[in-house]
Chains A and B, each alone.
Chain A
Amino acid sequence: NAGVTQTPKFQVLKTGQSMTLQCAQDMNHNSMYWYRQDPGMGLRLIYYSASEGTTDKGEVPNGYNVSRLNKREFSLRLESAAPSQTSVYFCASSEAGSGGGGAQYFGPGTRLLVL
């Protein structure tokens, strides 16, 4: 089992460029999440997908879009990157059944620098 995988590991973008961060999990989890982590700010939820076919905004969704491609894959898109989006991005999946109260399992992260 690979768990949660993310690509790419590192990316440098220029302001205004677009990119998609990919995430896949092989644990048959229903719920998937995208977080960003900045120094001193902790984990902040960008978007989540409670189950295949649904997506919802989290705490900081502006500037991002997501697609739940199937049960395994959940992608995050930056349409027009801004320096404020420089961060480390983590994808997570959850073993939650109903109510979403299960533990989360994180991917290795994508380090994004926007110049």
Chain B
Amino acid sequence: QKEVEQNSGPLSVPEGAIASLNCTYSDRGSQSFFWYRQYSGKSPELIMSIYSNGDKEDGRFTAQLNKASQYVSLLIRDSQPSDSATYLCARGASGGSYIPTFGRGTSLIVHP
């Protein structure tokens, strides 16, 4: 079982809407979580990190972490066509391991 699960999508939203991307994880010892954006043909780019329960906002992006329910989410407000990409959720290494775990990503399509 993959430790970090994401719906592969595609998730299609209209321009200006809120896009909600979700991720669940199985390792209760995880302390750090990250969201990466990957445009087609490009490398993953870090867009958000979150370490504590609750919300973390950065511009149009909000990351949410609920450790009790073991899920992480990313909200993108006022979605733009330029947000169309694959979004990877990742759990940072924990328990003495140096190996992080990535989900397979959710494809987001923002249509005009």
Q: Which positions in A face B, CB cutoff 8 Å?
A: 31, 40-43, 45, 48, 50, 56, 58, 90, 94, 96, 99-109
Contact = CB atoms under 8 A, between A and B. Distances in A.
A106 B39 CA distance: 13
A50 B90 contact: no
A42 B100 CA distance: 13
A47 B100 CA distance: 12
Interface residues of B, number: 25
Contacts of B44: 43, 90, 104, 106
Contact of B49 (A45, A56, A103): A103
Given A42-B105, A43-B88, A100 B43 contact: no
Nearest to B91: A101
Nearest to A109: B43
Nearest to A58: B99
Contacts of B46: 103-105
Given A104-B90, A106-B43, A106-B45, A42 B104 contact: yes
